[in-house]
Amino acid sequence: MAKKKINLTKKNILVSVHVLAICAWFGGTLSLLLLGFYLKNAQNSEQLIYTLSSMHIIDENLLKYPALATLFTGILLSVWTQWGLVKYYWVVIKLVLTVLVILIGIFFINDWFSFLVKTAEGLGASALNENKFESTWISIIISGIFNLSCLVFMTFITYFKPFGKIKKNKKVAKP
């Protein structure tokens, strides 16, 4: 069965969409982190809620959709080019890290933001002094740093392509 390949023009378009999605995801993650650190300096309830709302908008628009676009275009690029989805370690590592970061966002970050916003709306600026608020804020900061680190690492392995090709176990024929 012949593998479906993509012509150069379509590949370049797909690569461009992939890179733009990664840039949006990277920029969103960096913005989220910067606002997250700024959050601790909120002087009043309005500033705290505004900062949290901005972070939530970034999470909804510059993290989720670009991350999913990156995953989708990355899978298409690997399947439609010589790299394959599971032929090289660097491709598999990128796939696993991308899925991991997306799952962290789906299962944790959204709930954390909801908690922070509800707490800030209920307690105002005094929410900053609550232990649960602080620990949830730290969780968002740590996950943002992890996300950013993964994106940087994936960028490097895209260009250096380390670890080589995945070797398939050859079955030994029985006499």
Q: What is the pTM of this model?
A: 0.89
Q: With respect to residue 114, please indicate whether it lies within any of the assigned structural domains.
A: yes
Q: With respect to residue 128, please indicate whether it lies within any of the assigned structural domains.
A: yes
The domain total for the chain is 1
Q: With respect to residue 131, please indicate whether it lies within any of the assigned structural domains.
A: yes
**Do residues 90 and 15 make contact, with C-beta atoms less than 8 angstroms apart?**
no
CATH of the domain at 80: 1.20.120
Per-residue pLDDT of the chain (175 residues; tens, 9 = 90+): 446 788 999 999 999 999 999 999 999 999 999 999 999 999 999 999 999 999 989 998 889 999 999 999 999 999 999 999 999 999 999 999 999 999 999 999 989 999 999 999 999 999 999 999 999 999 999 999 999 999 999 999 999 999 999 988 766 556 6
Q: With respect to residue 54, please indicate whether it lies within any of the assigned structural domains.
A: yes
Q: With respect to residue 172, please indicate whether it lies within any of the assigned structural domains.
A: no
Q: With respect to residue 41, please indicate whether it lies within any of the assigned structural domains.
A: yes
Q: With respect to residue 166, please indicate whether it lies within any of the assigned structural domains.
A: no
Q: With respect to residue 71, please indicate whether it lies within any of the assigned structural domains.
A: yes
Residue 136's closest CA among 120, 111, 112? 112
Domain interval for residue 119: 8-160
